[in-house]
Structure 1
């Protein structure tokens, strides 16, 4: 497999489809956080290109309306009291039907940085992990009043002016996250025991995110983590039920899918952007793991 990829030092031109920063979605001059009623928010958005990515956390709670919403190519139905969570870098698309309302919360990756001593604090919330399997929470009737009450307070605070306004919003958002985490079965799915394997797995996941374009073999990651390839694979199998190699390949496939919905990129350009030696190796790799060719996937998702 290693020979399928170009040398790490190769340079190439890379084109991207829209990655919107938080300023594009701000209804005020505030750049790090936006909290608003969804109907008002949607009316103020013009000429968005779909699908697109964000460089910030994007949360949407629907209280009225229907339609569909896709996150990283997984399709969901839009229903009242479905809460969607998108992390920076994820690709999403929506199609709304009828009168849509609810709430939207956008905040930058650094919004909590000056407030929390632990830079990794938000990572314990599965719904903020960027894992599409934990991107939607169906709020129970019992939970709905507390969630709506918390968000309404945050919306009100976002429209006031006082010296502690941003800290007050941070507290309310953390209160919301903790409330959701306590009752969310999804969050239990990623809540691992506090032990060395968990810490190693988190380091591995971060390393994949940083190096997946040039490091393709588990032994390369194991070396950087100062563990054996066998132990790395054991951790992945025990905790996630997949191999270390599968984790690396899954990340490559996800990025390939994200690039394929950008119609300005040719398949050959995508192959080069993902560091494959040539187009044929990329197409073979993609078809083996997705079950269709890159061109077929592009037509299927168009």
Structure 2
């Protein structure tokens, strides 16, 4: 089902191979998404496959390509919404769509749920599905409240799982989110650690030190990985040339871009494209 409130859109889909077709996923490609997926299932996120060991939530930005990857699935639920529905309002940063769950270039943002947490989230999802059947004046706000509740609870769980729940560690969360957001905004035009250090008013050495406390990857690795991911998306899901891809990522020398991609992806751009 999908609800439309003027320009605001909110909906939910059953996330199984049997119920989803390519058209349905394309229709919500530009939406922000939350996927609840039960244990034992498999899901493909961009170019990675994940086997879900326990009931989990996955937070998915627009343009990320996802699909169920298991014919024996027990089924998940995909909540999807556009920015007009939720982000147009001024929310607390922790639970806005620019919060840590949607600005995290360090990892695929899974939230693993224990039995009680899973039951809690599934109840909220059922409440959402029931509310989707209503047509009164309060429906839009009720859906938004339930959506915010999932994001708020998930943010708390994520911080606990990453030992970032104590008050004195909030600056670490804020810095991680800020750096992630900058990489997501500027990876097409800014390729060096020094670029981001300048934006954060740090030296490259201090930026690397701070990121080293939060991630096993260096800032340079994080920037390169984001560029490679976008390159793979363009190679797999568009027909534009390698030279055009290089130019779109601010590489004037396409031969240099080919060497950069091959070194970091372990395969040439054209060979990667042939896989799709």
Please give the range of the TM-score, normalised by the shorter of the 2 chains.
0.7 to 0.9
* 2:227 maps to which of 252, 271, 287: 252
* 2:269 maps to which of 281, 290, 294: 294
From the CA coordinates, give the structure whose radius of gyration is larger: 1
Matched, 1:159 2:147: no
Structure 2 partner of 1:150: 124
**Aligned ranges 1:217-256 → 2 under 5 Å:** 217-256=192-231
**Structure 2 residue matching 1:264: 3-state secondary structure:** coil
**Structure 2 residue matching 1:60: 3-state secondary structure:** strand
Measured against aligned partners, the alpha-carbon deviations of 1:168-226 in whole angstroms (never above 9, x if no partner) come to: 1122122223334444588527769223x654443333222222222222222222332
CA distance in 1, matches of 2:107, 2:225: 14
Query: Cα distance 1:183–1:205, how it changes in 2: closer, same or farther (>3 A)?
Result: closer
**Aligned ranges 1:168-183 → 2 under 5 Å:** 168-183=142-157
Query: Cα distance 1:186–1:281, how it changes in 2: closer, same or farther (>3 A)?
Result: farther
Query: Cα distance 1:211–1:125, how it changes in 2: closer, same or farther (>3 A)?
Result: closer
- Cα offset for 1:256? 0.9
* 1:72 maps to which of 46, 59, 70: 46
Structure 2 partner of 1:278: 253
Structure 1 partner of 2:67: 93
CA distance in 2, matches of 1:190, 1:72: 28
Measured against aligned partners, the alpha-carbon deviations of 1:32-52 in whole angstroms (never above 9, x if no partner) come to: 343435179x85x66529889
Contact 1:287–1:294 (CA under 8 A) maintained in structure 2:
yes
Structure 2 partner of 1:214: 189
Matched, 1:38 2:14: yes
Unaligned runs of at least 5 residues, structure 2: none
Alpha carbon RMSD of aligned pairs, Å?
3.6
* 1:48 maps to which of 17, 23, 26: 23
CA distance in 2, matches of 1:287, 1:49: 33
Contact 1:72–1:90 (CA under 8 A) maintained in structure 2:
yes
Structure 1 partner of 2:95: 121
Unaligned runs of at least 5 residues, structure 1: 1-25
Query: Cα distance 1:142–1:210, how it changes in 2: closer, same or farther (>3 A)?
Result: closer
CA distance in 2, matches of 1:219, 1:80: 40
**Aligned residue pairs: how many?**
273
CA distance in 2, matches of 1:115, 1:251: 28
Contact 1:51–1:93 (CA under 8 A) maintained in structure 2:
no
Structure 2 partner of 1:141: 115
